[in-house]
A and B are shown apart, each in its own frame.
Chain A
């Protein structure tokens, strides 16, 4: 049945294909392997590292990066970037907190926090699609704007003791569900939602398609702008989720929340093997990337290495991760 031409080429293609498959396995296992080796290394220096208490700590630290990383993976897969996530997080956190503190709202305020996050994401998306301005520029601007709005409406003051008005407010940050801290559960759920979207829905497919070749995707009749809007709104939602978690954990909200957190999220995505050019990457990789960053911070702290050195190490790890990824790509 098979035509002659295709048998010839199919065999030629098969070898290439095998090479690529091995490559993509390495793409997720590479970071995982570094995670394991690094953990063993730290363990050999500091035995406290391997206690369940410490790992709970690490997971809690990783949760924030992971939640933002889910949305950021979507954005970066489309070939975009979002620098405003830290600011969105702060703005949505203080919005909810203000309603609780000054207007006597209850748990419903959480929905407002999520809503404000989505709205900010939507605004980013609208400017990017309608204005046809590169995401880097747009979010560089809104990063300032959202942070400014957050500072303005709180007059730069922290809003504290939220549990005084809403006693249950801390459930998203400090309670445990079985052995798992709430932030870890929330991060895991965000990951599962993201994973299912990427794997099973049109949005998920188009995220890869747009990043791989935007023109081809548009020529295929896909209404690209809609999907980009959805992606940035989803990113905003992730910020809202992270805002709820963070303000719940700290029992307060402040306009300078999560400053610089966008860079951690981007780093988690990149360490996880997602290409900054878009079109290629995995959510699992991002999760590992987030864990890896948390493990490094935790390990260095346990070993009493100063925060300044931690910065240097993290920076080096980011470059190293991408370098390894480049070498892998060049081979396949």
Chain B
């Protein structure tokens, strides 16, 4: 089925590209957008036809989200113009973009945490009854239907703040779908969800495309581009590189255009000697969330926690790091039992956690890059105890900006102005500076471009060589298979299977990750 859909898509778009008679639904002509110290977009043109999926690719900071924000009325171009159906339009604010039929899922989640899922999905377009009264029952019914279309059986009365990132992302997508827009823009919709959920989304994208919706998709997963894309436009450093049909373009070609060079090895796994046990957890339990979690990680080793979203992987990390209280179990660091009640104690024990939600848990967005990096371990900047002179901060920050290739005009730039992927790198730098011996990475490469991913893996190798142990939580199976020495599969709060690097396969992991609930469903049916 996928094949036929893809063929249709591929068949439809070259027609659009080749016949100049067809006007694009949306067009950017020679637009530029500058921020203090940064040219985010430099003379970029872009067009989008009805019934096509136009993929936008490029490294972190290439200007993809900026382009999206021009189209959704958040920024106005400094130069150039935006045309709809061939006529110039001005998108003064997000409301104007919506009245023009442009609906956007932004890269950074934009939900109201205290409101429930249903209200968020319909925010700004509530179904009304006579007399200016909101039709709540229609709203919740509609929200439930939208979620089911995405194959999410979530009660729309749930408060958004209680949901994990993946369900929040799905809520955000449902919200964009409700608009039934002519132009649907998806800025990295798949970064926080599993392949299965992504597939669900893509089937809807296929459907919308067949109905004539014009779609822009941004993704660092090139598989996504191949799966649904008709054409791809590549941006590099804010400049337009090329627009190519997806049919007949390989990932290698795309990467070369994005990065400007060939990428030799995607998962640079090294042979690093494995040493003594660095972290040992035994019987970790938090009732209703995780049950009887036991495993060891040795120095020089990467242990991955795989599983579906909601399987309790992040909860294990949070428990070890002292964020959530434990109902039972022990934690041993280098053979010594430690009591960890707060993140501070975890850091003292040599544990570092890179949280999955960088905006909420990883960064102080208003502070400069340098301050964010120095925050967790000011002592490691070389500054005298209790002091943190700007020079020490900046020097340290510069070191990481260079080694992680963080794209920022200066270490003094506020983190909020960095592109999504570069924010993630700042979180990485912050925790690397702690010189911890045990690193827990929760979705370390979420939102990071292909080139930078390799950098992150190299950095992991470097940490391992320096005698660290790594626990990696990842929903990206290729990454798990490519980098982990051992893989624990979690399901419903328990570890249900273990594989080593050699014996693991995508199919085996998935079948363990999903099995149980399958049976339950069948029993229920």
B residues 104-148 with Cβ under 8 Å of A? 104, 106, 110-115, 119, 123-126, 128, 132-134, 148
Bound Cα distance A2, B111 (Å): 23
Which of A164-172, A173-181, A218-226, A287-295 binds B?
A218-226
Q: Is the CB of B309 within 8 A of A219?
A: no
Q: Is the CB of B110 within 8 A of A220?
A: yes
Which of B40-48, B153-161, B394-402 binds A?
B153-161
Assuming the A-B contacts A4-B308, A17-B158, are A208 and B114 also in contact, with contact meaning beta carbons closer than 8 angstroms in the complex? yes
A205 within 8 A of B: yes
Q: Is the CB of B112 within 8 A of A5?
A: no
A8 within 8 A of B: yes
- Interface size for A (C-beta < 8 A) is 37
Nearest-Cβ distance from residue A180 to partner chain B, whole angstroms: 28
Nearest-Cβ distance from residue A273 to partner chain B, whole angstroms: 13
Which of A150-158, A209-217, A259-267 binds B?
A209-217
Q: Is the CB of A8 within 8 A of B123?
A: no
CB-CB under 8 A from A213, the residues of chain B are 110-113
Nearest-Cβ distance from residue A249 to partner chain B, whole angstroms: 33
Q: Is the CB of A7 within 8 A of B158?
A: no
CB-CB under 8 A from A308, the residues of chain B are none
Which of B51-59, B248-256, B385-393, B517-525 binds A?
B517-525
8 Å CB contact of A222 from B95, B114, B115, B148? B95
Q: Is the CB of B72 within 8 A of A219?
A: yes
Which of B193-201, B205-213, B350-358 binds A?
B193-201
B492 within 8 A of A: yes
CB-CB under 8 A from A285, the residues of chain B are none
Residues 307-324 of A, flagged 1 when their CB comes within 8 A of B and 0 if not, give 000000000000000000
Greatest chain B CB density within 10 A among A215, A219, A223 is at A219
CB-CB under 8 A from B133, the residues of chain A are 200-201
Nearest-Cβ distance from residue A199 to partner chain B, whole angstroms: 9
CB-CB under 8 A from B99, the residues of chain A are 221
B152 within 8 A of A: yes
Nearest-Cβ distance from residue A329 to partner chain B, whole angstroms: 11
A16 within 8 A of B: yes
CB-CB under 8 A from A215, the residues of chain B are 110
Assuming the A-B contacts A12-B289, A221-B98, are A209 and B123 also in contact, with contact meaning beta carbons closer than 8 angstroms in the complex? yes
8 Å CB contact of A218 from B94, B128, B163, B310? B94
CB-CB under 8 A from A11, the residues of chain B are 492
Nearest-Cβ distance from residue B150 to partner chain A, whole angstroms: 8
Nearest-Cβ distance from residue B286 to partner chain A, whole angstroms: 11
A202 within 8 A of B: yes
B74 within 8 A of A: yes
Bound Cα distance A279, B113 (Å): 9
CB-CB under 8 A from A280, the residues of chain B are 114
Q: Is the CB of B310 within 8 A of A8?
A: yes
Bound Cα distance A269, B295 (Å): 50
A189 within 8 A of B: no
Q: Is the CB of B106 within 8 A of A7?
A: no
Q: Is the CB of B153 within 8 A of A16?
A: no
A25 within 8 A of B: no
B311 within 8 A of A: yes
CB-CB under 8 A from B115, the residues of chain A are 205, 208-209, 212
8 Å CB contact of A219 from B106, B163, B166, B289? B106
CB-CB under 8 A from B110, the residues of chain A are 213, 215-216, 219-220
Residues of A within 8 A of B (CB): 1-13, 15-17, 20, 200-202, 205, 208-209, 211-213, 215-223, 279-280
Q: List 20 A-B contacts (CB under 8 A).
A: A2-B153, A6-B151, A6-B310, A8-B310, A9-B154, A10-B153, A12-B288, A13-B158, A201-B134, A202-B134, A205-B119, A205-B126, A208-B112, A211-B114, A216-B110, A221-B98, A221-B124, A222-B95, A223-B93, A280-B114
Task: Supply 11 further A-B pairs (C-beta < 8 A) apart from A217-B124, A219-B106, A280-B114.
Answer: A4-B196, A4-B518, A5-B310, A6-B151, A6-B154, A8-B309, A9-B167, A10-B155, A13-B154, A201-B132, A213-B113
